[in-house]
Amino acid sequence: MKIFFILTFIFLSSSAKSINEYSYDKSGIYDKTFCKEMYENLGSTDIPNRRYTLNVDLLVEHISNIDPINNYFEAYYSLWVHWKDNSVKEYLKTKNLYNPEKTFYMCSYDSQKAFYEDLILFNPVVEFYENEPVDFKPNWIELFSDGTVQIRKRGSQKFKSWFEFEKFPFDKQTFYFYMYSEYPKSILMFKADEAMDVYKKNLYMDEQEDYYLNIPGWETTNVNFYEESYFDDIDGHKYSGFIVEIDAERKYFWYIFKIMAPIIFILLVSWSVFWLGAKQVESKVTITIVAFLGLIAYNFIISSDVPKLEYLTYMDVFILLAYLFSGLSTMIAIASNAYFRNTDKNINFIDITARYLGIPLYLLLNIINYYYFIGFKI
């Protein structure tokens, strides 16, 4: 009888051990033995007979180095892409570990080895359109108890966009992030993760979740995302793409107070000479010439803050008008000097004309400039 109880105890102990064969720590991550065994038993999937829906979560954290000539910008971001993989699901079922109700993190693998060397998992080959580098190689792969595979990438890259700077510094720009895959839509389709709705609502800013989109000198006004299909005429297939658009407007008050206001002040000094007495001809010429040279010097100082483009912007015309009227005031002062020397009159009609026509004409041309490039709605 004692021998029977001993054998029964051994049997129950071995059964309990088989049930809890794979232990996992407090965070829910299974031990290395299980993860290694699953890695060795997973195999590449039969891609043509499967269809995958890729859920995209793109968190943009920083945009900088905007290149208006080549239409590029740099962005620092975190990207999560996840989908359900049948090979992972079926393997978890064989171990009685598949749990579609309560999802928890299980294992992680090196992406380079799993995707490009051993080929144990389906690789969606997600890429960004016209970026540097263009090849998408996630940093790591994570597997979950419901058969979900998640790839994660974090880094900085250059992205292509299409900028229009005619309204500078009152311009608004859109920063594009365009993702696509080499597989046609019959195999792979993109879908926005629920997190994208939160990003759109909060404009990529949430202090509680500790993320904040920073675009130096710009203010984010809108975030939009959508799946877009396109047809390839070469292979005759339809493909799925995922686009994230971030709209931002330039913070133009800096340009008003640091560039435009000083230029207007220099111009007012230049035209104020015509309020001096008619006999102060030498002072008029001196002041206008100094103001003109000061405008040239100031333009050199601010040149690094103005984008160098192949077309004219609102700011370019604003500066050109300042040059024109500053030079015009100098020429009028010289003409006034010549006129006064050849007449005995104390009242110079050239000065009077310049007083009441110069600045109003300058303001009128600037209003026309503003209306032409921007309109009356910024």
The pLDDT tens digits for 37-84 are 878 777 655 555 678 899 999 999 999 999 988 889 999 998 999 998
Which residue is it, tokens 């895959």?
Answer: 181
Contact partners, residue 350, CB within 8 Å, separation at least 6: 332, 335, 336, 339
Task: Give the C-alpha separation, 106 to 150, whole Å.
Answer: 11
- Distance separating alpha carbons of residues 72 and 340, to the nearest angstrom: 58
Residue indicated by tokens 């829906």: 53
Cα separation, 10 vs 8, whole angstroms: 5
CB 9 within 8 A of CB 90: no
Residue partners of 225: CB distance under 8 A and separation at least 6: 58, 192, 196, 200, 242, 243, 244, 245
Instruction: Tell me whether residue 286 is in a domain.
Output: yes
Structural domains in the chain (count): 2
Question: How high is the mean pLDDT in each 10-residue block of the chain (378 residues)?
Answer: 43 35 43 78 63 92 91 91 87 84 78 72 82 57 88 87 92 94 90 92 79 90 93 84 95 92 91 77 81 86 81 92 91 77 65 85 93 78
Six token digits for residue 136: 């998408």
> Is 17 among the domain residues?
no
Q: Note the pLDDT of residue 368.
A: 94
Domain membership of residue 4 (yes or no) is: no
Please give the DSSP secondary-structure letter assigned to residue 164: -
Which of 209, 228, 250 lies at the terminal end of a domain, its last residue?
250
Phi-psi region of 306 (alpha: psi -120 to 50; beta: other; left: phi over 0): beta
Structural domain contains residue 302: yes
Q: 67 lies in which domain range?
A: 23-250
Q: What is the CATH number of the domain that holds 307?
A: 1.20.58.390
Residue 10 lies in a domain: no
Does 209 lie in the same domain as 269? no
Sign of CA pseudo-dihedral 243, 213, 134, 159 = positive
Q: Please indicate, yes or no, if residue 6 is contained in any of the structural domains.
A: no
Predicted pLDDT at 209? 66
Cβ neighbours, 10 Å, residue 51: 12
- Domain co-membership, 119 together with 136: yes
